[in-house]
Structure 1
Amino acid sequence: MTMNDSKTSPDAFRIVIVGGGIAGLCAAIALRGPNREILILEQSSLLREVGAAISLQPNASKILENSWGLGDRIPSSKKVVDHGFRIYSIDGQLVKDIPLVKKREYGADRVIYHRQDLHSMLKAAATSSDLPGKPAELRLSSRVIDADCEAGIVFLSDGTSVSGDLVVGADGIHSKLRTAVLGKIQNAIPTGVSAYRLMMPIEKLQGSEFATKINPAEPFTSMMMGHDRRLVMGPCRGTEDYAIVALVPDKTLDVDTSKTTWNTEASLDEVEKAFDVFPRWVTSIFQHSPAIGLWQLRDLDPLERWHRGRVILIGDASHAMLPTQGQGASQSVEDAEALGAFFEDVGSRTGAEAVERRFADVVRCRYERACLIQEYSRNAAKPATAQGAEGRSKVTLTTTEFMDYNCTYNGAKDWQRAAGVQQEVGGS
């Protein structure tokens, strides 16, 4: 016996999600329910993630584990519960040790996943028959290029169109639906920093000089800073792989980083040259990464709006942020959870005005919080990044206070209770 209710009526609530990444799949999971049809449009022909580590902070882990019940879908041997941050000098001396184990206070752990594992799990959950509601349909090679927001219609590059009562723009940092919602183009902003992405087997590092200074199998995120460059490193897939993000100023590189994408490949010679100011005992481990990626870090200034008509933006489409706080994916999870909470009782075709009223509540719940975390992530990357837009609020919280602000969040329903928001009943 399964929990799935595959029956839908002609007046089913139709949901179209543009983008099959983490944000889009989370939205599909959160929005599953009785008498709903969910269609995910993904532009790639093969829905798969690159080899990289990704963290979910406690604020997202408790949604994944408690609200959605997905905590056991990735074996514990394939994930890492992060115990803290360790900051090292360029000669390998431990400078600062910041513990992160505060599950009692936060309600969940900071968990490190391999992106492929997390993405595969979310895809399986969104399309499975053992969760409430009808499984989402995933349609590949479906590139959305525009939308009629008021009518809830998205237009694809092959000349076809798809309509929905609710359209979720989860199409990432280069979002087409962002342009449709804003009525103008607002591109992501280069930060002056690019990142090399490496992944290597931990067994290859055992016995190396690197391992005598930084144990790659210990469940800690390690950072090494020097000469305006930094390495952020840690294990994933238990003690199987070691992930490194190597941050370097664009101006020091010989490549045009403005043309890089998440899938841009780089060579070993490139990354070794970029970090030739680091000691050889560090850079020698780069050779063990079978593939190296390079992408320019960009973020967004806060948008004027996140929704128009039947279309709402989530994730990087609405608030792309730098990885300095590890909150990018976690904020996408929060967005999806909020959509699920505010549309929980809708089970039939719904008028545009009712959809927009619920969107307004989603934005009230999410906008200030996401924009503050976005700004803090930008500030943490300075001096490499430019100043934010004029008139933006200044972050006054300390690092510890901000960690508490990030991680004590308990989701949209908790926000509803605190804000005294009355959920609209019915779908008219």
Structure 2
Amino acid sequence: MAIDAATNTFRIIIVGGGIAGLATAIAMRGPQREIIVLEKSRMNKEVGALLSLQPNAQKIVEQWGLGEILQKAKPTAERQFRILDTKGNIHMNIDMDAKKYGADRMVYHRQDLHSALREAALSTELSGHPATIVTAAKVVSCNCEAGKVTLQDDTTYQGDLIIGADGIHSVIREAVLKAGNHELVHPTPTGVSAYRLLVETADLSSIEVDPALFDPKRQATTLMMGHDRRVIMGPARNGDLLGLVGMVPDEHMHEASDANSWTTPGSLSKLLETYHDFPQWIRDIFAQAPDIALWQLRDIDALPAWVAGRCIIIGDAAHAMLPTQGQGASQSVEDAEALSAFFSSVIGRPTHSETNSALQQVFESRHRRASLIQTYSRQQAKPATEKGSVKVTLNPAEFLDYNCKYEGAVKWLEQQKAKEVESQ
């Protein structure tokens, strides 16, 4: 599907219809713009899991005017971040101040958030033209200079801008790196596997635990650490659900995890064996989960480039990171905001040069920040993820400020340039 040279429509092709792709489809809406989202699945069902939009991302989506639509997703505002040890000691209790950060940290069921973003991308009520979503559209190659992608069935789509939001196993990332003569980067094992569980809080009334230590409906993210293992817990759907992620170094696993699927069934008995020296109340919560998913965590090193020609990669395609800070989805929203900001002055169809120039600004405003958050997320999963990378010296409270006080790509870039001038 080639561009009609006679029109003055800015044609944007987004590869991937997940959180990053749909957020970008919303952010890039505008006059004289046609947005097409190519999604390889049929979007019949989103994976059941919890994810958060941290204040840095939540305030962005609220600025897009999505408040009413997002309320349908039944988000839960989390007001604290707590760190416990396996003996029941509270090591840290950080208040999540909405006034300080500009928004609450909101936790969503992934399926609910995905449905809300899809509704917003297709809405005729928001400004700009609604996006078109094409499902069962698996992209297999991309010509970055021409702005053309080819599907598995040989159908082609051509645009003024190609946005690769196609996840950690990104086809567009490979095209971007090849176009810049960079060495290809592939997802690598982190040495950590993760169990993912969802439990109805109504089923936890018999769990014996001091509510001052842990309450499944408390509006807080709770991290319990001990013995090279950790459990991250938090509520969603107005407290009706409790989500848990158990992170385990591979050498302590009692069953094999799958690197290619986060829905591979896990064994309750093996999970309990792995966490045998954690408090009984956590093990009792595990036992109430109707399903247990298990997958091997992988991420990618910081990339030398996200941009080539008319093409850019965002989200997990550009900076896949471990879930230790809950910033994966939020960084995708920041990417979408940056694209919107640096293309805000583009009315009608941009030239190749204008497109590439704006994309370079997006990269300049996002690469350093996303890479640092990537590094810290990996560092927090140590010792299993020890790779000799540069150590981040910020403590959790300081990094929370770094993450959540973000006010958009343009302002961040201005602040970084001002710091560079001061240091000269």
TM-score using structure 2 length: 0.91
Q: Structure 1 CA distance, aligned partners of 2:277 and 2:91?
A: 22
CA shift at 1:251, angstroms? Answer: 1.7
* Structure 2 partner of 1:128: 123
Of the structure 1 ranges 355-364 and 257-266, higher mean CA displacement relative to structure 2 is found in: 257-266
Distance 1:129 1:63, change over 3 A: same
* Structure 1 partner of 2:286: 286
Query: Equivalent of 2:53, from 37, 52, 56?
Result: 56
Query: Equivalent of 2:23, from 22, 26, 33?
Result: 26
Of the structure 1 ranges 207-216 and 327-336, higher mean CA displacement relative to structure 2 is found in: 207-216
* Structure 2 partner of 1:194: 193
Distance 1:86 1:29, change over 3 A: same
Q: What whole-Å deviation, never above 9, does each CA across 1:185-218 have from its counterpart, x for those lacking one? A: 3111211111100001000001321475521111
Q: Structure 2 CA distance, aligned partners of 1:38 and 1:262?
A: 29
Contact (CA 8 Å) 2:164, 2:170: kept in 1 or not? Answer: yes
Q: Structure 2 CA distance, aligned partners of 1:306 and 1:340?
A: 16
Query: Equivalent of 2:33, from 31, 36, 41?
Result: 36
What's the secondary structure of 2:297's corresponding residue? strand
* Structure 2 partner of 1:171: 166
Of the structure 1 ranges 35-44 and 218-227, higher mean CA displacement relative to structure 2 is found in: 218-227
Q: Describe how 1:18-167 pairs up with structure 2 within 5 A.
A: 18-66=15-63, 68-75=64-71, 78-91=74-87, 93-167=88-162
* Structure 2 partner of 1:13: 10
* Structure 2 partner of 1:257: 257
Whether 1:343 aligns to 2:338 is: no
Q: Structure 1 CA distance, aligned partners of 2:231 and 2:310?
A: 42
Contact (CA 8 Å) 1:260, 1:294: kept in 2 or not? Answer: no
Whether 1:411 aligns to 2:418 is: no
Q: What whole-Å deviation, never above 9, does each CA across 1:162-201 have from its counterpart, x for those lacking one? A: 1111000000111111110001531112111111000010
Distance 1:344 1:236, change over 3 A: same
* Structure 2 partner of 1:227: 227
Name the aligned partner's letter for residue 197 of structure 1: R
Q: Structure 2 CA distance, aligned partners of 1:387 and 1:227?
A: 20
CA shift at 1:368, angstroms? Answer: 0.8
Distance 1:419 1:403, change over 3 A: closer
Q: Report the count of equivalent residues.
A: 408
CA shift at 1:343, angstroms? Answer: 0.8
Of the structure 1 ranges 56-65 and 412-421, higher mean CA displacement relative to structure 2 is found in: 412-421
Name the aligned partner's letter for residue 116 of structure 1: Q
Q: Structure 2 CA distance, aligned partners of 1:345 and 1:46?
A: 33
What's the secondary structure of 1:293's corresponding residue? strand
Q: Structure 1 CA distance, aligned partners of 2:210 and 2:393?
A: 38
CA shift at 1:270, angstroms? Answer: 3.1
Of the structure 1 ranges 268-277 and 27-36, higher mean CA displacement relative to structure 2 is found in: 268-277
What's the secondary structure of 1:194's corresponding residue? strand
CA shift at 1:244, angstroms? Answer: 0.4
Distance 1:101 1:51, change over 3 A: same
What's the secondary structure of 1:73's corresponding residue? helix
Distance 1:282 1:396, change over 3 A: closer
Q: Structure 2 CA distance, aligned partners of 1:232 and 1:207?
A: 21
CA shift at 1:414, angstroms? Answer: 2.5
CA shift at 1:40, angstroms? Answer: 0.4
Distance 1:121 1:227, change over 3 A: same
Contact (CA 8 Å) 2:85, 2:91: kept in 1 or not? Answer: no
Distance 1:259 1:328, change over 3 A: closer
What's the secondary structure of 1:409's corresponding residue? coil
CA shift at 1:413, angstroms? Answer: 3.5
Q: Structure 2 CA distance, aligned partners of 1:386 and 1:246?
A: 19
Q: Structure 2 CA distance, aligned partners of 1:147 and 1:107?
A: 39
Cα RMSD, aligned residues only: 2.0
* Structure 2 partner of 1:303: 303
Q: Structure 2 CA distance, aligned partners of 1:254 and 1:403?
A: 33
Q: Structure 1 CA distance, aligned partners of 2:259 and 2:378?
A: 21
Q: Structure 1 CA distance, aligned partners of 2:95 and 2:69?
A: 24
Contact (CA 8 Å) 1:47, 1:140: kept in 2 or not? Answer: no
What's the secondary structure of 2:69's corresponding residue? coil
* Structure 2 partner of 1:5: none
Q: Structure 1 CA distance, aligned partners of 2:237 and 2:152?
A: 37
Name the aligned partner's letter for residue 202 of structure 1: T
Name the aligned partner's letter for residue 334 of structure 2: E
What's the secondary structure of 1:321's corresponding residue? coil
CA shift at 1:156, angstroms? Answer: 1.0
Q: Structure 1 CA distance, aligned partners of 2:102 and 2:251?
A: 42
* Structure 2 partner of 1:381: 381
Name the aligned partner's letter for residue 378 of structure 1: R
Q: Structure 1 CA distance, aligned partners of 2:409 and 2:83?
A: 34
* Structure 1 partner of 2:398: 401
TM-score using structure 1 length: 0.90
CA shift at 1:38, angstroms? Answer: 0.5
Contact (CA 8 Å) 2:51, 2:109: kept in 1 or not? Answer: yes
